[in-house]
Amino acid sequence: MRLYRTGKASQLLGISKPTLIRKIKSGEIKAYRVGREYRIPESEIKRLLEGKTLDKVVIYARVSSRDQKEDLERQVEYLKNYCSSKGYQVVKILTDVSSGLNENRRGLKQLFKLVEGGEVGKVVITYRDRLTRFGFKYLEQYFNSHGVEIEVIFDDESEKELVEDLLAIVTSFAGKLYGMRSQKKKRLVEAIKNALRDD
């Protein structure tokens, strides 16, 4: 019976070494203790690869407002066709109607659960900003640490959404500086809106 070291086993399974050790300790993965290290039998590797999540994909789509419902439907349709052409097995379609700055999105929370539960191997999105407006690299590293890849189809971002996010940030900060109902705050937000329109 062939036994694999944790480094090699995590590589074969497409998960990080800490994730593998956590799964061994929780009893999800069978392993033998050899001194201070673990060894994973080949039969266990094969069993896990049979139910491999690598081809299991979750689609995530987002728009920032309700009047973009048609855009959301088009986004989902495009992602479904893309996954089908790649031969991916779509296990879940998650959507949000919310700003990319909002970290409290229902769909995003569900996505984290799927990633952390090891239920998917890949997240497919149209643009990076569909997932998050800022900190994409941190999110990507976190997903990768759970053996999940983020596949982004296109590279550029929506200018309209960038403007909306900038206004949301200015409004929030102005509200904290001057109070939400103050005239100074309203004047500042209007000035930013006008400057963006002129551009």
Pair (12, 98) in one structural domain = no
Q: Name the most confidently modeled range: 41-45, 48-52, 83-87.
A: 41-45
Pair (77, 123) in one structural domain = yes
Candidates 128, 125, 120; CA nearest to 51 is 120
Phi and psi for 135 in degrees, rounded to 5? 75, 25
Burial 43-66 (b: 16+ CB within 10 A, else e): ebbeebeeeebbebbbbbbbbbee
Pair (98, 33) in one structural domain = no
Domain boundary among 13, 33, 50: 50
Q: Which domain holds residue 13?
A: 3-50
Indicate the burial class of 156 (C-beta count within 10 angstroms; 0-12, 13-18, 19 or more).
exposed
Domain count, the chain: 3
d(CA 53, CA 194): 49
Pair (77, 135) in one structural domain = yes
d(CA 16, CA 145): 6
Cβ count near 154 (within 10 Å): 11
Pair (133, 85) in one structural domain = yes
The CB-side HSE value for 153 (13 A sphere, CA atoms) comes to: 18
pLDDT at 196: 64
Q: Name beta bridge partners: 41.
A: 3
pLDDT digits (tens, 9 = 90+) for 129-176: 899 878 888 999 999 888 888 999 987 655 566 666 667 777 777 777
Residue 107 has pLDDT above 90, yes or no: yes
The verdict on whether 16 is a catalytic residue reads no
Pair (104, 170) in one structural domain = no
Pair (112, 167) in one structural domain = no
Report the chain's terminal Cα–Cα distance, integer Å. 69
Candidates 126, 133, 74; CA nearest to 105 is 133
pTM: 0.58
User: Which residue blocks in 14-55 are alpha helix, DSSP H?
Assistant: 17-26, 42-50
**Of 26, 43, 64, 145, catalytic:** 64
Pair (63, 42) in one structural domain = no
d(CA 31, CA 39): 5
Pair (64, 143) in one structural domain = yes
Residue 85: pLDDT band with limits 50, 70, 90: confident
Pair (73, 7) in one structural domain = no
CATH number at residue 172: 1.10.287
